[in-house]
Amino acid sequence: MRDYYTLKVNMPAGIVSPGALQTVLSLAYEAKVRQVRFGARQQLLMTVHYEDMRFLEKGLKQHQISYELNTEHYPNIISSYCGEDVFRTGAWLRESEYHTVLDQFDYQPKLKVNLSDSNQSFTPFFTGNLNFIASPEPHFWYLYVRPKQSNSLFRWPELIYTNDIGRLAKAFEEAMLEQDFQNEEHLYRAVTATQPFITQPATQEVELPEFSLPYYEGFNRYGERSWLGLYRRDEQFPIAFLLDVCALCLKTRIGELCTTPWKSLIIKGIEAKDRAAWSHVLGKHNINVRHAANELAWQTEDHSDDGARLKNYMLRYFEKNDTRTFGLCFGIQTRSKSEVFGSVLVRKRPLIQLGQLALFSVYDVYFTENFNPNSRTYNLFEKGLFKLHLPNQLNRLCRKFNARRLQEGGETIRLEPEKPELTLTKITANVHQCPHCFTVYDEHYGDARRNIPAGTPFDHLPSDYTCSTCDAPKADMHELPVEFVS
C-alpha cells in the first residue's frame, strides 16, 4: 500500500476563483495537508497520506471537484492569461477571448492544450500536443501539433477561429487517441472530414519573440492598480497562507487568481487602499518577495526534490561568481521523457547502468537554437559532466550567450522546420573499475586529473598509472562491461 498519494486538481488556463480555491484548500487542510504546490502546467498539486485520502476524496466528490490520483490522464490546459494586463500582450487577445475558448471545453482534454499570446515569452508555446498561438489576424490562431510521445512538430495549414478551438481539439482527440492517426496528412483528413471549421490559410510560420523573462514577483503597478507575484524557493505554499490570500481576495472583490508555468502565483487588480492588508498577510506568514532575478529563471519537474537541490546548488555558484543570466532560462530534467521549459537544459543520466541500478550520475548540457526556449532544436554544449564541474560549465555557456548578444543584437526569429532532437541511446562498452573506490576509467573520456586525453585505451596507459581517486595501481583495476546511455 502507498504511504502517500499525489493529488492533482486542474485549473484550466491557470485561472481559479478565490472561492473555488478556498474550498479545495479547506478540504485539504481538514485532511491534514499543510502545503501545496503549483505545477509546470499551472495545476494544483498536493501530497496526501493514505489514511487521510478517503476523507479528502469524500469532500471533493461532495463539492463535485474533479481530481486525479497519481495519474496524468487529463493534463491541464495552460495559457498566457496569467500575464494578461501585466506583461506585454498582443493587439487583440484579451481576457474575454481566453474565457471564450475555455467555455468551449465542456469535457476534460486528454491531450495537452496550450493557449498562447504570440507577443509574450513568459509561458511556453510548444510544450503541448495542441499549441494554439494568437496570429496577427484578429480572432484567428496558429495551431502547432505535436503527436503524443513524439518530438516532431508541424504547423496546421490553416488559422483557427476562436469559437472553433474547443470543437477542433475534441476532433483531434478522436483522431489521435481513438483512431491512432499521427501522420500530418492523415490527421488533417480525419479532423476535417466530419465537421466544418471556420479557418483562414496560414501563409507563414509564427514569429517567435526574443525571449525575455519578466520579473514576476513582488508588488508591481500597472495602470491604477497593482499585481502581486508570489514565488517560493522550495515551491511549497503553506495552505494557511493561501487561505488568508483567498479570504482577502473575496473581501477586496478580486475575482481571479492566476498560476504560472514557473510554479508561482499572480494576484491582479489590487487597489492602492488594500496594499497594507496584503503586506499584513505576507508578514503574518513570513512570506518573502524580491528574490534574485536569476533564481526565478529556473524550471524543474513537478515533485522533483533532486531537481530543486541541483538548482539551489548551481544558484549558490552563480551568486558567488556574480554570473549574468539575463535573457536565459534554465530547465533541469532528472527523469527521462519529462519536459521542462528552458533555453539551457541540464539532463541528468546514469554513467553506468547495471540492470535497474543506476550508478555515478552525470549531466549533459544543451542549449536551444538562438537560445530561445520555445525552439525545439537542442544543441549539445557539454556531455558527461560530474556535478562538481556543472556550475562552471553553465557559467561558460552564459558567457558565450552574452558574447553572442553583444555581437549580433536581439532580433526576432522565425520558427524553422524542426530538426530531429538528439536522442539518448544505449551503448554496450567495456570500462575499467577500481575495486577500492569504484572509480571508473573510460577511454572515451580519458582522465583529466592524470592528463590522459580522451580516446586513450586502457592498455596504452603508462605502467605507473594509478586511480585518480585513491591512487590504487593500474594492475588492480579490472574490466567491466556496462551499458552507457548516450
Tens digits of residue pLDDT in 83-112? 988 886 667 999 999 999 999 999 999 999
Q: Are residues 389 and 440 in the same domain?
A: no
- The reported pLDDT for the residue numbered 412 is 43
- The reported pLDDT for the residue numbered 433 is 81
For position 451, which CATH number holds? 2.20.28.10
- Residues in contact with 165: Cβ distance below 8 Å, sequence separation at least 6, in sequence order: 101, 104, 115, 132, 141
- Residues in contact with 276: Cβ distance below 8 Å, sequence separation at least 6, in sequence order: none
| Full residue range of the structural domain in which residue 364 is found | 295-348+355-407
Tens of pLDDT, residue by residue over 193-229, are: 989 999 999 989 998 888 989 999 999 998 899 999 9
Q: Are residues 300 and 386 in the same domain?
A: yes
- Residues in contact with 50: Cβ distance below 8 Å, sequence separation at least 6, in sequence order: 1, 2, 3, 4, 5
- The reported pLDDT for the residue numbered 89 is 66
Residue 422 pLDDT > 50: no
All three cell numbers of 436: 577500492
Q: Are residues 401 and 307 in the same domain?
A: yes
Q: SS3 string of 168-224?
A: HHHHHHHHHHHCCCCCHHHHHHHHHHCCCCCEEECCCCCEECCCCCCCCCEEEEECC
Q: Are residues 97 and 191 in the same domain?
A: yes
Q: Are residues 157 and 194 in the same domain?
A: yes
221 within domain boundaries: no
260 within domain boundaries: no
Tens of pLDDT, residue by residue over 3-32, are: 899 999 999 999 999 999 999 999 999 999
101 within domain boundaries: yes
Q: Is 259 helix (H, G, I), strand (E, B) or coil?
A: strand
Q: How many structural domains are present in the chain?
A: 3
Q: Are residues 134 and 166 in the same domain?
A: yes
- The reported pLDDT for the residue numbered 409 is 56
Query: What mean pLDDT do residues 135-156 have?
Result: 91
Q: Are residues 386 and 336 in the same domain?
A: yes
For position 362, which CATH number holds? 3.30.413
| Mean confidence (pLDDT) of the chain | 89
Q: Are residues 100 and 174 in the same domain?
A: yes
Q: Are residues 401 and 440 in the same domain?
A: no
- The reported pLDDT for the residue numbered 85 is 83
Residue 337 pLDDT > 90: no
107 within domain boundaries: yes
Global pTM value? 0.81
- The reported pLDDT for the residue numbered 201 is 94
- Residue 299 and residue 329: Cα distance in Å, rounded? 8
168 within domain boundaries: yes
289 within domain boundaries: no
- The reported pLDDT for the residue numbered 416 is 47
Tens of pLDDT, residue by residue over 431-466, are: 888 776 567 888 887 887 788 888 888 888 888 888
Calculate Rg over the CA atoms of the chain. Answer: 25
Handedness of CA 449, 451, 457, 462 (dihedral sign): negative
Return the higher-pLDDT residue of 337 and 260: 260
Tens of pLDDT, residue by residue over 354-366, are: 777 777 899 999 9
Q: How many CB atoms lie within 10 A of CB 409?
A: 8
Instruction: Please answer whether residues 84 and 55 qualify as being in contact, where contact means their C-beta atoms are separated by less than 8 angstroms.
Output: no
Q: Are residues 125 and 202 in the same domain?
A: yes
CA distances (Å), 415 to each of 10, 144, 158, in order? 30, 11, 16
Q: Are residues 94 and 130 in the same domain?
A: yes
Q: Are residues 344 and 453 in the same domain?
A: no
- The reported pLDDT for the residue numbered 178 is 92
343 within domain boundaries: yes
286 within domain boundaries: no
- Tell me what percent of the residues of the chain surpass a pLDDT of 90: 69
- The reported pLDDT for the residue numbered 230 is 97
Residue 395 pLDDT > 70: yes
